[in-house]
Amino acid sequence: MVTNQSVNDWVKEMAEMTNPDEIVWIDGSEKQLDLIKQIALETGEMLELNQEKLPGCLYYRTNPKDVARDEKRTVICTSRREDAGPTNNWVSPDEMYAKMRKLFKDSMKGRTMYAIPFSMGVVGTEFAKIGIELTDSIYVVLSMAIMTRVGQEVIEQLNHGADFTKCLHSKAQINEQEKYIAHFPEDNTIWSINSAYGGNVLLGKKCLALRIGSYLGKQEGWMAEHMLILKIENEAGESKYVCGAFPSACGKTNLAMLTPPDYFKKKGYKISTVGDDIAWLRIGKDGRLYAVNPENGFFGVAPGTNQKSNPNALQTTKKGTIFTNVARNLDDNTVWWEKLDKNPPENGEDWLGNPWNGKTSSEKGAHPNSRFTAPAENCPTIADEFFTGEGVPISAIIFGGRRAKAEPLVYEAKDWNHGVFIGSAMASETTAAANGQVGVVRHDPMAMLPFCGYNMAEYFQHWIDMGKKMTNPPRIFHVNWFRTDENDEFLWPGFGDNLRVILWMLHRCKGTVGAVETPLGYEPKPEDIDVEELNITPETLEKLLRVDKDAWKHEIQDIENFYSKFEQLPKELTDSLEELKQGIDKL
C-alpha cells in the first residue's frame, strides 16, 4: 500500500523497537474502521451507546490519573536549551530518545500496531501537512479518523515523496511516572508514551498542529496558532472572517459556533464556523493574512455544553462521536454531563464507572475535562470554506481570557506591534483542561504557552516579522466576557450576545465607527455597541469598559514578572509596556 521506502524503513525501525504482533495500515475506509471498532467493543476498550438516539457514537473512559494534558510531562527536545526557551520543559534529544527507547522497548508486544497516515489540512492544498501516527490504541485510530483527514489520498502523497511528521505513541502501561509527550522539532518527530488521554495521544492535534507546526511556521514563514476562525455574514450578504485566541475552556468553542440573538437573525446576520481551535495562517499575494483550520473534527469540553450555551456543538455530537469520561445513563444508554440539562440520570454511571444517582449524589458525574470528539461536518454552522482548505482572509484577531476584574469588555490595539504586545501579555484564570490548580491567574501569551514549540521570545519576534510582511494586516482586539461585579456576578451576558462586540470590531475594521483612546488601546463609546433588546444599563456598560488604575498597576507588575523570564524580548514589546505604564500613571 505504501511504496515510499523512507516511510517503510521508519515503520520497520519503530516496529523492531516496540515489537507488535502485527502492523495494520489504516486506509480510512468505513469498512476497515467498522472492523476496528468491533475489536474495541469486544475487548471492552470502548462501549457502544444507544444507536437510535446516538448513531455511530461510542463511550471511552481513561485511567483516573490520565484525564488532561500533562504539561509537566510534555517536553521540547532541541539541540540547544535556549531554542526551547524558558516556558518549555527542555530535554536534550539524545537524553530523551535514550530514555524513551527503553520505555518503548516491547511496549506493543501482544498488541497490534496501527499505522495511520493523516493530513492536517485538506490534502494537496498549500496549507496541508502530512503525518503518520503509529499507535497501539484503537481509541487513537478512531479519533484520528475524526480529527484528521485519513485515507488513500494521503498515502498517494506519501508515495510521491511528501515529507511527513513521524509520530509514535504507545499506551504501554499507562504509568503516570513514566509518561512523556516529547517533541523533536529538528527531527519533525513526536513520541508519546504511557498515556491514553486524547490531548496527549492524538498527535496530529496540539503536538503537530501547534508545537511542531509553530516551529515549522517560523522556519517557513507562516503561523500556527491556537485560534478559532469565525465567518460573519451581515444583512447585505457581505462576509468577514475573524480569528480568536482563548485558553482552553474560556468560551472559544462557544464563540466558534455562536448563535446570533434573534434581533440579529431577523436582520439577516449569519454565523458560520471555519474552525474551533487551531488556525494556520499565511500571507496571501494581496498582503492580507489568510487562515485555514487544519483539523477535521472538534475535541470539545463536554461540561457546560448545553442547548443555551452552545446548541450547535450539542447538535454536532449527535452522531459519529466519541465521548470520553462523561457520565452514562444506564436506562437508555446515553450520556450526561454537568450543566447539560437539569435531569441527571438516577440510574447512571459516573466517569469512573461507579453507580451514580445524579439526583442525590454530591459527586460530579462527568470529569470537569470530559470530552467529545465529533466530526466537523456534523456542525450545523460549518462553513463551506472549511471544506476547500484554501484559506479565508482575516479582518480581525481577537485575544481573550477569563478575568474577573482587570480586563475591560473590549479594546483595540493601536497598531500591529501593539497588538502583539497585548497578545504577549494575555493572562487567564486556569480551568480543568490542564492538570493543576483551578482559578489561578497565569500568563498565556496568544493562548500558546503550552503549545509553542520553541523559544517564546523568538515566537513574539516572528509575529512582529510577519506584521512587517503584510501590507494589509488584521486589526487586533482584546476581549473579556467574564468581568464580574462586586457580587461576583457576570456583567456581560456572553454567548450569542458576544456578536454585538464583534460587530463593533468589524465596524472599526471598515472605519465606520470611532473609539475612545485609553492607556490600554481604543475602547468603544458605549453608544457604539448595539445593545438593542438587551437588558443592560448604561451604568453596567460603563463598568464593563472601565480601566481600573489600581488593578492595572498590579497587572503591569505581573507582566514585568512574566517578561523577566526571557533573556531577550523584542524592543517593540518592552516599548509598549513602558507606554502602558506611563498611561496608567496618568489616570
The pLDDT of residue 49 is above 80: yes
Residue 117 CA, chain-centre distance (Å), reads: 22
Is 277 annotated among the ligand-binding residues?
yes
Is 250 annotated among the ligand-binding residues?
yes
Is 306 annotated among the ligand-binding residues?
no
Write out 472-490 in H/E/C secondary structure.
Answer: CCCEEEEECCCCECCCCCE
Is 396 annotated among the ligand-binding residues?
no
Cell digits for 468?
512587517
Q: How much is the average pLDDT of 428-438?
A: 64
Instruction: State residue 250's pLDDT score.
Output: 79
| Distance in angstroms (rounded) separating the CA atoms of residues 206 and 226 | 9
Residue with cell string 475552556:
249
Task: Report the DSSP beta bridge partners of residue 59.
Answer: 47, 323
Instruction: State residue 429's pLDDT score.
Output: 80
pLDDT in tens, 91-101: 999 999 999 99
| Distance in angstroms (rounded) separating the CA atoms of residues 122 and 145 | 14
Of 47, 39, 20, 48, nearest to 104 by C-alpha is 20
Half-sphere exposure of 121 (CA within 13 A, CB side): 21
Instruction: Please return the burial class of 563, using the count of CB atoms within 10 Å of its CB with bins 0-12, 13-18 and 19+.
Output: middle
Residue with cell string 490520565:
66
Q: How much is the average pLDDT of 448-466?
A: 98
Is 497 annotated among the ligand-binding residues?
yes
Instruction: State residue 436's pLDDT score.
Output: 63
Cell digits for 412?
483595540
pLDDT in tens, 152-179: 999 999 999 999 999 999 999 999 999 9
Task: Report the DSSP beta bridge partners of residue 348.
Answer: 329, 356
Residue 421 CA, chain-centre distance (Å), reads: 21
Q: How much is the average pLDDT of 540-551?
A: 95
The pLDDT of residue 332 is above 90: yes
Is 367 annotated among the ligand-binding residues?
no
Instruction: State residue 309's pLDDT score.
Output: 87
Least confident of 94-103, 206-215, 426-435: 426-435
Is 496 annotated among the ligand-binding residues?
yes
Q: Which domains does the chain have, with CATH numbers?
A: 5-44+71-221 (3.40.449.10), 225-296+383-585 (3.90.228.20), 298-378 (2.170.8.10)
Is 273 annotated among the ligand-binding residues?
no
Q: Are strands 22-25 and 112-120 parallel, antiparallel or unpaired?
A: parallel
Would you say 534 and 435 are in contact if contact means Cβ atoms under 8 Å apart? Answer: no
| Distance in angstroms (rounded) separating the CA atoms of residues 345 and 288 | 51
**Percent of the chain residues past pLDDT 70, beyond the cut:** 98
| Torsional class of 511: left (φ above 0), alpha (ψ -120 to 50), beta (otherwise) | left
| Distance in angstroms (rounded) separating the CA atoms of residues 546 and 405 | 10
Say which residues have a Cβ less than 8 Å from residue 153's Cβ, sequence separation at least 6: 119, 123, 124
Cell digits for 53?
438516539
Q: How much is the average pLDDT of 536-563?
A: 95
Instruction: State residue 1's pLDDT score.
Output: 81
Report which residue type is found at 256: A
| Distance in angstroms (rounded) separating the CA atoms of residues 378 and 392 | 21
Report the chain's mean pLDDT, rounded to a whole number. 96
The pLDDT of residue 431 is above 60: no
Half-sphere exposure of 146 (CA within 13 A, CB side): 28
Is 386 annotated among the ligand-binding residues?
no
pLDDT-derived band at 433, boundaries 50, 70, 90? low
Work out the number of other CB atoms within 10 angstroms of the CB of residue 566.
Answer: 18
Work out the number of other CB atoms within 10 angstroms of the CB of residue 258.
Answer: 24
Write out 229-297 in H/E/C secondary structure.
Answer: EEEEECCCCCEEEEEEECCCCCCHHHHHCCCCCHHHHHHCCEEEEEECCCEEEEECCCCCEEEECCCCE
Q: How much is the average pLDDT of 302-326?
A: 95
Q: How much is the average pLDDT of 63-89?
A: 97
| Torsional class of 381: left (φ above 0), alpha (ψ -120 to 50), beta (otherwise) | alpha
DSSP for 291-348 reads EE---SEEEEE-TT--TTT-HHHHHHTTSS-EEES-EEETTTTEEE-TTS-S---SSE
Strand intervals (E) in 401-521? 410-412, 427-429, 441-443, 475-479, 516-517
Instruction: State residue 441's pLDDT score.
Output: 81
Instruction: State residue 253's pLDDT score.
Output: 87
Residue with cell string 437588558:
535
The pLDDT of residue 320 is above 60: yes
Q: Which helix (H) or strand (E) holds 581?
A: helix 571-585
Say which residues have a Cβ less than 8 Å from residue 428's Cβ, sequence separation at least 6: 246, 247, 250, 401, 402, 403, 441, 442, 444, 447
List active site positions.
250
Q: How much is the average pLDDT of 488-495?
A: 94
Strand intervals (E) in 376-474? 392-400, 410-412, 427-429, 441-443
| Torsional class of 159: left (φ above 0), alpha (ψ -120 to 50), beta (otherwise) | alpha
What 555-562 contacts at long range (C-beta under 8 Å, 24+ apart), as own/partner pairs, is 555/406, 555/427, 556/580, 556/581, 556/584, 558/427, 558/441, 558/443, 559/425, 559/443, 562/425, 562/443
pLDDT-derived band at 437, boundaries 50, 70, 90? low
Is 107 annotated among the ligand-binding residues?
no
pLDDT-derived band at 416, boundaries 50, 70, 90? very high
Would you say 189 and 81 are in contact if contact means Cβ atoms under 8 Å apart? Answer: no
